[in-house]
Amino acid sequence: MAMGCEIRHVADVTILDLTGRLSLGETLTLGEGQQLALADAVRELSDQGHKRILLNLAAVKYVDSSGVGQLVGTLTSARGHGVALKLLNPVKQVRDLLRMTKLHLVFDVHDDEAAAIASFAKRAAMGA
């Protein structure tokens, strides 16, 4: 199965608008015939010089434990490649899952796109 993914850029922030389900075996459809795991897509973007990535989860309606594992693996991979990764607009089910697993303490989660984009600049100004 594959999740939909549209990539857009606002200033120096790369936004991945994800759609579908995030669960075991799900990959992202990027362009014609290109399917990658979420962590691989972020790593590829990093290799292209994109170091501020926002995952827009507004249209991700379902995440299971394997999907949470993908998010954690993606965050770990992103940090290892010097990428600041944040989450945007998780739906209630996803937000509840993040709270239940205490991952809301690990991920930087935002409800407003403009505020999320601005938070990258604030973090850079603080030297983090």
Q: Grade residue 125 by pLDDT with cuts at 50, 70 and 90.
A: low
Choose between 27 and 74: higher pLDDT. 74
Q: How far apart are the first and last CA of the chain?
A: 37
Mean local confidence (pLDDT), 64-83: 92
Give yes or no for residue 126 having a pLDDT over 60.
Answer: no
| Mean confidence (pLDDT) of the chain | 89
Find the mean pLDDT for residues 15-38. Answer: 80
d(Cα 68, Cα 101) in Å, to the nearest integer? 9
44 Cα distance to chain centroid: 13
What's the predicted TM-score (pTM) here? 0.89
Mean pLDDT confidence for 48-69: 93
Percent of the chain topping pLDDT 90: 62
Q: What is the mean pLDDT of residues 42-52?
A: 95
Q: Residue 79's pLDDT is what?
A: 95
pLDDT for the residue numbered 49: 96
What is the pLDDT at residue 1? 56
DSSP collapsed to 3 states, 46-101 = HHCCCCEEEEEEEEEEEECHHHHHHHHHHHHHHHHCCCEEEEECCCHHHHHHHHHC
Is 127's pLDDT higher than 60? no
Domain count, the chain: 1
CATH number of the structural domain spanning residue 53 = 3.30.750.24
Task: List the domain range (segments joined by +) for residue 19.
Answer: 2-125
